[in-house]
Amino acid sequence: MADICQNCNCSPYENLCVCATQNGITVIQPACQTLPDGSTAGNPCFRPSPENRSYWSYKFATDNAMATRGISSLVIPVCQNIPANTIIVSEKIDGCGTFTSVPFTISPTDPNYGPAPTGFNWLKVESNNRYDKGVTVEYRLEIVGNYPNGTQGIRVRAANVNYTFACDGCYIVPECPAPGQLIVNKSCEEVFDGNTVRLAFQITVTNPGGSPLENVQLTDTLLFSQNITLGPITISDPSLNVDRTVPGRILITGNLGTIEPGGERVITYSLPVTAVSRPGEYLIDNRASVVSGTVQASDFCTLNLDVVQLSADKCCSINGNQVTYRLTVTNTPNSPGTIARIVDTLVIPAGLTVRFSTFGGCQARFRTGEEVPLNQDITGQRMIDIVCDNLDIPQGGSAHRDIQLTIVSASTQTATINNTLNSADPLGEQDQLFLPTLNVPVSVDTTYIASITCSDPCPNNINPDNGQFFTAPRRANTATPSDCGCGEGLTSSNPTRRYNWKSEL
């Protein structure tokens, strides 16, 4: 586009463009020009509102050689979209006062010059014997609007001979602006804050073309599962219409007005996810389209919202005086894979001495903060917190950890070890939404019961009823996982189960 008109220094004198002289005729485009108000400005230049006019000046010089013939007409290419009624052509004959408006014609072709270049019309001025040779004549085009700088040759007719002046980079003429274009860039993201998520969207509409685009209409469609509930929308342009009448769809429409060449419009909006009815991987599709007349563009983006729900369970197994607790975390159907943490509490009652052989790779600490040692006797009432971090729970799968202890000795007839799985939750920073874990807390009690026995038992081959000898079977002194009703990996919907382990002292 022509530059904004600014003062131009005419000394030293410079030409913007000049081609070689042909038969005594020279076409010049000066670097400075005189505007209608008498000021001097660069050539070409544009004065914005309220004038909204651009100015383009050219000089035509003829010498006085015998062979030189005077100019009878000239043609300057101008944008074919410029109406003739928005142009004023002024002529100034060197040494003859000020510019004077002169007649001209606009046409795509001419009997003498042929068709104008593609995208241009010929602006034709005839001298009509106002001057002959040995003179310099300046023409100033005053055009409503601003136009890009194009490069085209200028033609002159003298004595029925056409001369074309078109050297490198010459001459700067008003060409048609490139048509308006539309580009849409759509972006979307999930913004997590703890266990809440907000869906954020941005639409950027630009016009990289050369012409304004009017009445730009926007349509933005957001599609989502009806298992998801979205809260109130916050939108940067309140003039846009938001339609939420169709379940699972939000439709945003409106008029963005006129977008000038190089201009843009940016619309942002966001919605919180307020509820999800079930776990799963949910696609949220968003497409934005804009149209102005025959020009249109669109773009889309897709979000994948992971909603996770876990289920916890635990059981125990007994082998002699050894107890194994199994902690299990399972992904519910359709729940995406995640990384979870287990928090478990084990209460050793007074009267028992136990020894731990494994915590399944988890961290175990007394409530006082010290780490629980392995393979060392632990006596007295103690409360132990067990934390299992970074459990990989695949989609449709589960993970478990085993805690194993041995009852070394007892100073009580009965005692109960309580083991409670307090929580099994996905870890944060995973860009996932978490539903409450099912079946927590869940507890398993292991009861120790001591039997009463005689310190000096009778021989086991005497029948106390009749004094006869007999052979009596020996009762096994162990309990197995089937005895306690829970094998490895066995799960139950019952959150609390009790198992008895008996031993004869």
Over residues 61-82, mean pLDDT? 96
What is the structure's pLDDT at 454? 62
Q: Is 181 within 8 Å of 207 (Cβ atoms)?
A: yes
Over residues 338-345, mean pLDDT? 95
Query: CA-CA distances (angstroms) from residue 139 to 6, 55, 104?
Result: 20, 10, 11
Q: Give the start-end residues of each E strand in 127-261.
A: 135-144, 149-151, 154-158, 161-165, 172-174, 183-193, 196-206, 217-223, 228-230, 234-235, 241-243, 249-255
Over residues 207-216, mean pLDDT? 91
d(CA 393, CA 388): 13
**Which pair of structure tokens corresponds to residue 77?**
């290419």
Whether pLDDT at 464 is above 80: no
How wide is the angle at C-alpha 201 spanned by C-alphas 200 and 204, nearest 5°?
Answer: 150
The full length of the chain comes to 505
What is the structure's pLDDT at 427? 86
Over residues 293-306, mean pLDDT? 96
Whether pLDDT at 268 is above 70: yes
Residue that wins the pLDDT comparison between 496 and 300: 300
What is the structure's pLDDT at 218? 98
**Which pair of structure tokens corresponds to residue 112?**
């003498």
pLDDT tier for residue 168 given thresholds of 50, 70 and 90: very high
CA 241 to chain centre: 23
- Residue-averaged pLDDT of the chain: 89
What is the structure's pLDDT at 32? 97
H helix or E strand, kind and range, residue 208: none
Whether pLDDT at 465 is above 50: no
pLDDT tier for residue 489 given thresholds of 50, 70 and 90: very low
What is the structure's pLDDT at 458? 66
Query: CA-CA distances (angstroms) from residue 462 to 454, 466, 474, 476?
Result: 16, 8, 14, 20
Q: Is 300 within 8 Å of 270 (Cβ atoms)?
A: no
Q: Is 106 within 8 Å of 112 (Cβ atoms)?
A: no
What is the structure's pLDDT at 457? 66
Least confident of 141-145, 329-333, 393-397, 477-481: 477-481
Least confident of 128-137, 204-213, 445-454, 489-498: 489-498
Over residues 309-330, mean pLDDT? 93
What is the structure's pLDDT at 49? 83
String of DSSP letters for 143-169: EES---EEE--EEEEETTEEEEE--TT
Residue that wins the pLDDT comparison between 459 and 244: 244
177-193 residue pLDDT tens: 888 999 999 999 999 99
Whether pLDDT at 206 is above 80: yes
H helix or E strand, kind and range, residue 181: none
**pTM exceeds 0.95 for this model:** no
What is the structure's pLDDT at 453? 53
pLDDT tier for residue 111 given thresholds of 50, 70 and 90: very high
Least confident of 57-66, 324-333, 487-496: 487-496
